[in-house]
Amino acid sequence: MTQLSDQSSGQAPDHTVQSVDPASQARLLAEQLLEAQVAFVKARLNSAELSDQASSLINFCLEQGKDITLEEVVSAESIREVVQVYAFDLNLGAGMIELIGAMAQRLYSEANHLAPTLQTLISSQQLEQWIDKILELDQVRHHLVQAVLQSPAAHEVIGQIISSLLKKQLPNWREQISLQLGEGWLAKTPLLPRLMKLLLQQEEKLLAIAEQHLSQFIQNQGTQLLGLDAAELKDIAWQVWLNIKDLPLNELSSGIEALDIEEFFVLIYELWRELRQTEYLQRLIFTGIDVFFEVYGDYPVSELLEEIGISKQHLINDANRFLPQAIAALNQHQVLDQLIRLQLSDFYLSPSTLNLIQQGLLTATAIQPASPE
């Protein structure tokens, strides 16, 4: 009757009161709740209380970490797999090689600018401790020297070095005679070729005898070094230190260019790429991981951090250093909202949540008191 009356009076029908599908109502409410929580979380992250929130979260995690052991959180096998990928399999990209070049240039410049002396970096007391420790390894020192002295390859190298040095030091008498007598002097003096051949033979014999004696002398000196006691060796090392301790580093490294530093980096990396594939090195690294878990596997996570030396205050300070700037950058680039929504949307728009909201709306409608007529 009301609708007929409205039409007959010429008024437009009222469409404000319409029946809405309960499922659509539930989805609309879920989207509104999602947007409300995104706004709430974003406001908290951008508030001045962010530091307090981070501290509370760290305190909570550390408190709960007293009951959770390391081996419950992570296994030795998982750590071994991570090391396998990032230490043994991963290769640096072209960008990292370029970075090494840029770093080499900057390091070279910085290293030569106001370079300190050696004793600024290491004190005489510290060096003395190092010398004493090295000299304690008496058996190692003797073994290394004996290995060198008894090695045929080492003797051959020593002989080659001595021969090269002797030839450089001996005068080139053939050139000197040529300068004095002029070109064609061999044809002018027929007897000289035979004499020169004899002299060359004698020179070669003398060089061979000198090489033999010098090589033997060096070997004997090595044997003499074996006989030096720790006090004598320490005195020698100390005298060397006294002569170089006041030299600046840039003077000691004179002749080294930025390109040399870059090439050293590359050579070290290439050497590491070869060594990391050896069964021996991988076995040593994996053994270290196993030992770590044998010692700390049953340690609560909170106690493990304390054992390592990481305190609660360290974690709070790091949170205060990095969180504000990171959140500000995400907010500036309109990413913060998306990250929060990404974490929450699956829950609010899941069938189970929508069904729960829908049931709640139906229940609320069913118990709503009737309006008085």
Structure letter (DSSP) for residue 65: G
pLDDT score at 254:
76
CA distances from residue 224 to 145, 210, 221, 371 in whole angstroms, order as listed:
11, 21, 5, 114
Strand partners of residue 300:
69
Please answer whether residues 325 and 98 qualify as being in contact, where contact means their C-beta atoms are separated by less than 8 angstroms: no
Instruction: Please report the pLDDT score of residue 206 as a whole number.
Output: 66
Distance CA 351, CA 329 (A): 34
Confidence at residue 225, expressed as pLDDT on a 0 to 100 scale: 59
Which residues partner with 117 through β-bridges?
A: 248
Q: What pairs with residue 248 in β-bridges?
A: 117
What's the confidence (pLDDT) of residue 324? Answer: 92
Tokens 């709306």 found at = 361
Residue 298: closest CA among 31, 68, 42, 51: 68
**How many Cα atoms sit within 13 Å of 8 on the Cβ side?**
5
Whether 131 contacts 232, CB under 8 Å: no
Among candidates 263, 6, 276, 237, which has minimal Cα distance to 129?
A: 237
- Residue 287 class from Cβ within 10 Å (0-12 exposed, 13-18 middle, 19+ buried)? exposed
How far is residue 134's CA from residue 127's CA, in Å, rounded to a whole number? 11
The pLDDT, as a whole number, for residue 370 is 56
Residue length, the chain?
373
Name the helix (H) or strand (E) containing 255. none
Overall pTM > 0.85? no
Determine the pLDDT at residue 249: 85
Number of C-beta neighbours around residue 138 at 10 A = 12
pLDDT at position 137 is: 83
Q: What is the pLDDT of residue 154?
A: 65
Give the SS3 label for residue 189. Answer: coil
pLDDT of residue 313: 93
8 Å CB contact between 358 and 22: yes
Cβ count near 73 (within 10 Å): 11
From residue 254, how far is each of 81, 111, 248, 308, 353 by CA, in Å?
A: 44, 11, 10, 41, 72
pLDDT for 10: 46
Q: DSSP E strands: which ranges in 191-284?
A: none
> Residue 2: which H helix or E strand, with range?
helix 2-9
Query: What is d(CA 108, CA 112) in angstroms, rounded to the nearest whole number?
Result: 6
Give the amino acid at 226.
L
Cα separation, 227 vs 236, in Å, equals: 14
pLDDT value for 364: 82
| Confidence (pLDDT) at 135 | 84
Provide the residue ranges of all domains of the chain, joining segments of one domain with +: 23-68+308-361, 69-115+248-299, 122-246
Q: Three-state DSSP class for 117?
A: strand
Report which residue type is found at 55: S
- On the CB side of 42, CA atoms within 13 Å amount to 21
Q: How far apart are CA 8 and CA 1, in angstroms?
A: 11
Residue 226, pLDDT score: 58
| pLDDT at site 3 | 43
In the structure encoding, which two tokens stand for residue 144, read together? 């290394």
Q: Assess contact for 298 and 71: CB atoms under 8 A.
A: yes
Question: Residues in the chain with pLDDT < 70?
Answer: 1-20, 148-151, 153-207, 209-228, 368-373
211 vs 158: CA distance, rounded Å: 9
Phi, psi of 75 (to 5 degrees): -105, 160
